[in-house]
Chains A and B, each alone.
Chain A
Amino acid sequence: MSWELFWLLVEASGLTILYSGVSIVIGFVLASGICAAMLSSHRLTANGGRLYVSFFRGTPLLIQLLLVYYLLPKIGLNVPSEIAAIIGLSLSTSAYQAEILRGGFQSVPRGLLEAADMCGLSAFASFRRIRLPVAVRLTLPALTSEAIMLLKSSSLVSVVGVVELTTMAKDLASSTYQPLPIFAAAGLVYLIINLVVAGFGRLAERAAKRGHA
């Protein structure tokens, strides 16, 4: 296995990072809404949020991706497979992130919120200054592992014809007849990306902890 082949894998990993990065961000935005729905006191909204999370956490991502891929054209949306893949990944990760956020918000100690109330903070100020920062601090490790999970799962978009690291590895493996070194190299590239993400996660945790007991 030559350096040129390895370089092709590294280049393709840029697309993997792009697709998973975009999906994580879109997923986080969706997750904030779903989390708010789940924590809402309106019964129907809360149950809707829970159903959404249960469905996307209860079905294989491979099937979600294929479903989105075939469903979009059927309802008249002819989007490229890359967009379909990003939609599928975003929907899936939004459910996991929503569940993580819900756990975080629910473990913010009640005493903190009562204290904020006593100090005369408005509901908004109490959310922005107390609930949000504490919840973010509590959920950062879990959000980092979810980002790593999604990066790994993004390899599944290769089955709907999207070009990224795994697709490239598969093509190279069949054109060079060297599956073992090429898939091992692809695994190595994933591992390096994930170690970097984990490192950033730890940095973010440390930054969030600064100034807190």
Chain B
Amino acid sequence: MTSLLSYLTGEDGRNILSGLINTCILWVIGSGLGAIFGFLIAVARRYGPRLIDYVLQASVEVIRGTPFLVQIYLLYFGGPYLCLSLGEASACLTLDPFEAGILGLSVYGAAYYSELFRAGFEAIPRGHVEAAETVGLDRWQTLTRIILPEMTMLVLPSMVNMTILLLKETAVLSIISVKELKFQVDIIGNRDYAFVESFTILALVYWALVEICGALGRAAERRLSRYRFAHS
């Protein structure tokens, strides 16, 4: 145990901490952007023209139907390839691992979040919206006072699940050498030939983060339960 604790001091400790911080940054920004874009996609699909709905639906299906790892490879290796084949280095977008990671997580998350919000919109009883119109609320008020609060309550549990899923996906980013938690612990594990130990500790750390996130989600659900409507 003392030998394990010795990893937490000095250079190793600093690397592990920076990895943990990077994992949290990737997680928070990735799921934040994902949720925002997901919401916008759901709104565009619901209120926009039919054509936009079809295009967005196809894009969402493609992202949900392909592995995250393949998407990441495409983002990370695809940019430089485009540069080479276009022959114009200035005109192309080449992402460093961290940027590719954030972008990949946000896009992947947006596809899944948009489906959650879409289901949320559809689950709100029509009667509630009609009632809001009847008592004289305008469209904006109906959205902010009726639809959004009810939807928050409906989609919260699945949003917490999705956010947890994205945390677990951040570990995949180590494959394209994003310097997050798994990447940093891997280096130490390889150096000291301690694979089982390093992966066990990684598993425990991610497990703890997931359980904390789940507990926060349940607490939020309890606090927001006043928005819950009675199911008929």
Contact = CB atoms under 8 A, between A and B. Distances in A.
A191 B77 contact: no
B156 to A, nearest CB: 17
Contacts of B71: 187
A190 B80 CA distance: 24
B8 interface: no
Contacts of B62: 187, 191
B227 interface: no
A59 B67 contact: no
B66 interface: yes
A59 B196 contact: no
Interface in B16-69: 61-62, 65-69
Nearest to B168: A60
A95 to B, nearest CB: 12
Contact of B199 (A61, A70, A180): A70
Contacts, number: 112
A157 to B, nearest CB: 10
B210 interface: yes
A184 B172 contact: no
Contacts of B3: none
A66 interface: yes
B70 A59 contact: no
B159 to A, nearest CB: 16
B69 A155 contact: yes
Interface residues of B, number: 37
A183 B78 contact: yes
Interface stretch (A122-130, A136-144, A165-173): A165-173
Contacts of B7: none
User: Chain A: interface secondary structure?
Assistant: helix
Contacts of A54: 207, 211
A63 interface: yes
A55 B203 CA distance: 8
A63 B65 contact: no
Contacts of A66: 195, 199
A67 B200 contact: yes
B81 A180 contact: yes
Given A67-B199, A180-B77, A60 B169 contact: yes
Contacts of B174: 62
Interface in B158-207: 164, 168-172, 174-175, 182, 195-196, 199-200, 202-203, 206-207
27 contacts: A55-B207, A57-B210, A58-B210, A59-B210, A60-B206, A63-B203, A67-B199, A67-B203, A70-B196, A70-B199, A152-B67, A152-B68, A153-B67, A154-B67, A155-B70, A166-B73, A170-B73, A177-B84, A179-B81, A183-B70, A183-B77, A184-B74, A187-B74, A190-B67, A191-B62, A194-B65, A195-B65
The 7 closest A-B pairs by CB, nearest first: A179-B77, A60-B171, A155-B67, A58-B210, A70-B195, A187-B66, A152-B67
Interface of A: 54-55, 57-64, 66-67, 70-71, 74, 148, 152-156, 158-159, 166, 169-170, 173, 177-180, 183-184, 186-187, 190-191, 194-195
Interface of B: 61-62, 65-71, 73-74, 77-78, 80-82, 84-85, 164, 168-172, 174-175, 182, 195-196, 199-200, 202-203, 206-207, 210-211
